[in-house]
Structure 1
C-alpha cells in the first residue's frame, strides 16, 4: 500500500504537469491566433490591393476608350470639314466657269439636273444610315433643300417616301443638313417635327406631298435622294 505522502506528491506533480501542458497549449493557441490574424490581415491587404488595381485598370480602360472616341470624333470632324471645304471650292470653281461663259449642267447618267445640282432618286428599302452610305458610294450626299422651287422639283420626281440629309442626331430638336449648309427653308407637315417616338431624328419627305416629317432613323423607306454638284 502506497504512503499517503507519496500519493499526494504524485497528484501534485500530475497537476503541475497538466497546468504546464495547459499553459503550453494556451501559448500555442495564442501564437496560432496571431498567425491567423496576420494571415487575415495579409488577405485583407491583398484584397485591398486587388481592388485598387482593378479600379486602376478600369480607369486606364476608360481613359483609353475616351481617347479612342475623342480621336475618332476629331478625325470625323476633320473629314467633315474637309468635305465641306472641298464642296465650297467646287462651288467657287463652278461660279468662275459660269462667269467665263461655261454651261455647268452636266450630270451622270440617271441623274437629273436642277439649278446647277444633280439629283439621284434611289429606290429600295433602306434605313437612313444605309441611304447615307448609298449616296457616299456615289460620291454624293443625301439631299439638302433650300427653296420652294427646289422642293417642287423634288416633289415631282420623288414618288415614294424618301430620306433626306436633315437630322438632329447630335442635339435633339436642332436639325442640321449633312452637308453643313444652313437650314434656311423648311416644309414640315403641320405638327411636325414632333419626335413622337424616341429616335425620330431623321427627316423624310412624304411621297404624296413632299412635306417633311421626322421619322425613326431605322425605319426602312423605299426611296432616298442624293445630290452632287453639276459639272461644267
Structure 2
C-alpha cells in the first residue's frame, strides 16, 4: 500500500505549486500543478498530459472541471499563464458543430469565441478528418491566444477551474 502526500509550495501570492497524486488505471501519477486565483476562480494548470476525457475526470476528482472561458479578460489571463497547448472544457461530442462547455453553456450563451482564423483556407473549428471534437487553447508565436479543435484522444496539458 502506498501513502500519497500532497506537497505544496507558495510560488507567489495567490499562486501555489503542488505535486498532486492521482491513481489512474491502477497506477499512481504525480501531477505538478500551478494553482492560481483570478476573479473568484481557482485555476489548476497541469504539467502532465492526458486525453480530454481523462483530463476532465482528473479535474472532477478534485472538485473542479475543465475551464470554461467567459470573457476576453479571462482568456488573456489564462493565455498569460501557459506556453504549451492545453485542454479547455469545450467540445462538440454530442452534436457536430454545436460547441458546448462542460457546464452545458453554448458558445452563444457565453458570448465569446477565440477560434484561430486562417488568412487562407478554413478557420477553426475545422473538424479535420471529421473527428476533432475537443478544444484546446494555444499560446505560441504561430497561434497567439487561439482555440483549436483537435482529436479528443490526444494527450495534452489541461486547465481546471473551481469557483471559490
Q: How well do the aligned residues superpose, as a CA RMSD in angstroms?
A: 1.7
- Answer 1 or 2: which has greater strand percent: 2
Distance 2:64 2:81 in 1: 18
Q: How much has 1:149 moved relative to structure 2?
A: 0.5
Displacement over 3 Å in runs of 4+: 106-110
Q: 2:78 aligns with which of 119, 130, 154?
A: 154
Q: Which residue of 1 aligns with 2:87?
A: 163
Q: Which residue of 2 aligns with 1:211?
A: 146
Q: TM-score, normalised by structure 2?
A: 0.71
Indicate the structure whose relative CO is greater, using CA pairs within 8 Å and at least 6 residues apart: 2
> Which has the greater radius of gyration?
1
Q: How much has 1:107 moved relative to structure 2?
A: 8.5
Length, aligned pairs only: 124
Q: Which residue of 2 aligns with 1:202?
A: 134
Matches for 1:94-105 after TM superposition, within 5 Å: none
140-149 vs 204-213, which deviates more?
204-213
- Answer 1 or 2: which has greater helix percent: 1
Q: Which runs of 5+ in 2 are unaligned?
A: 1-13, 19-33, 118-122
Q: How much has 1:113 moved relative to structure 2?
A: 0.9
Q: How much has 1:132 moved relative to structure 2?
A: 0.5
- Kept after mapping to 2: 8 A contact 1:107/1:118: no
Distance 1:175 1:194 in 2: 12
State the secondary structure of the residue aligned to 2:88: strand
Q: Which runs of 5+ in 1 are unaligned?
A: 1-105
Q: Which residue of 2 aligns with 1:88?
A: none
State the secondary structure of the residue aligned to 2:69: coil
Output one character per residue of 1:173-211: Cα deviation in whole Å (capped at 9) or x when no partner: 000000123422110001010101232000000131230
- Kept after mapping to 1: 8 A contact 2:99/2:106: no
